[in-house]
Amino acid sequence: MGTIKVIKKWDLKSNSWNNKVNDEDKKRALSIAEYGLIRHDESSQINYILLADGCRVENHTKDSSHIRENRAGIANILSYFESKKENYKIELLLVDNDAPLAEESKVLASYIDFLSRKSTTKTVNVIGLSKCGVMSFDMLKYLKSPFSKLKARVYSVSSPYTGTIMASPLLLESEVKNIISSKIGESALADKITAAFMKLYYSIMSNSHMDLDIAVPHYVPDYLKANYDPTFLQNIFSDTNLSSITNVRHYENICTAIDDTTLKNSLKSGNLVALGLCILNDTLFAGKSDGMVSLESQQKIESYYPFEHSASKIISSCHGALSTPIYANELLNIVNANMQNEPKLQRIR
């Protein structure tokens, strides 16, 4: 069982952080869930594994103080590192429902600096999934501690660098209407089905920065633009962001993509969510995505780096790789291999 610690809550009226969070807002506040220490030796050195999965507290639990291990793939992470030889602390970052992702990047960087400065910290390994993958890349420019340069390793996974249709209401509505009309023709019934789909869609999404900041540009309705920061993705590949890769020990982009193997594994395991993503992959992404983010959007970062940083690893998986053991192990093998590539730490004055 993870213990949830609230960090702060974004106030949309004042556009600032509020450190005093009431009980209701705790379900939607920027928070850290901490799981017990996995200890394999008597040393004081700890490897931190921080998963930022892009969901809020209420997406995973009704209890704003605790969260079970079976959420967000945490159980698979715990199982993986329980078989290793060092000491590990697993943490889960839960995003604020209302805060701009750019503001959450700053808080995340401050937290990474804090962990890196601790004398008992051996490594800090940040796994940012989906919107948090982009946020983790944006976060690099806010890191200030030289210890982060020595200890931090950051991974962006399934990241929508150019946005995703799933966070773009106007684009999604247009595509859904085209799909339905192609099946039953343009009619009042097609409009009615599309409207019903979009009503369900709006009831699920946050209608705020948490989702809208990764929208494809120009596809957010006017009435939602007050809760949308178009500059987040517009500036994601700024010179400042691109040069900030040197602020950490290691940075890596990892893509997820559905193929025949993914579909077979989903059918074999009876994973209905994965099967649904396989269907979305075919209907909305022409078979070139993980069911939520196109492979083209995930790989866009490759255009901006010299050769040695240009190749992303691709895992055969639907969106949310850590939720399935076989894909979680493949991803964590990458993290673990780089964790063992430990530099000789020198005194920093």
Low-confidence ranges of the chain (pLDDT < 70): 306-310, 342-349
b/e string for 22-35 if b means 16 or more Cβ within 10 A?
eeebbbbbbbbbeb
Judging by beta carbons within 10 Å of its beta carbon (0-12, 13-18, 19+), is residue 75 exposed, middle or buried?
middle
Same domain, 252 and 114: yes
- Residue pointed to by tokens 């990474």: 112
pTM over 0.75: yes
Amino acid in position 118: K
Q: Which domain holds residue 141?
A: 2-161+236-266+290-339
The predicted structure's pLDDT at residue 26? 92
Same domain, 15 and 124: yes
User: What CATH number did the domain enclosing 71 receive?
Assistant: 3.40.50.1820
Has residue 138 been placed in a domain?
yes
Same domain, 133 and 258: yes
Query: Which alpha helices (H) appear in the chain, and where do they start and end?
Result: 57-60, 74-82, 101-117, 131-139, 146-151, 169-184, 188-204, 209-212, 231-234, 239-243, 260-269, 272-284, 295-299, 325-339
Same domain, 212 and 177: yes
Same domain, 242 and 144: yes
The predicted structure's pLDDT at residue 311? 74
Contact 51, 73 (CB under 8 A): yes
pLDDT of 319-345, one tens digit each? 989 988 889 999 999 999 998 876 544
Same domain, 131 and 258: yes
3-class DSSP assignment, residue 219 = coil
State how many domains the chain has: 2
pLDDT of 82-141, one tens digit each? 999 999 999 999 999 899 999 999 999 999 999 999 999 999 999 999 999 999 999 999
Same domain, 149 and 175: no
Same domain, 199 and 117: no
State how far the Cα of 19 lies from the Cα of 17, in Å rounded to an integer.
Answer: 6
Contact 124, 115 (CB under 8 A): yes
Same domain, 208 and 114: no
Contact 143, 113 (CB under 8 A): yes
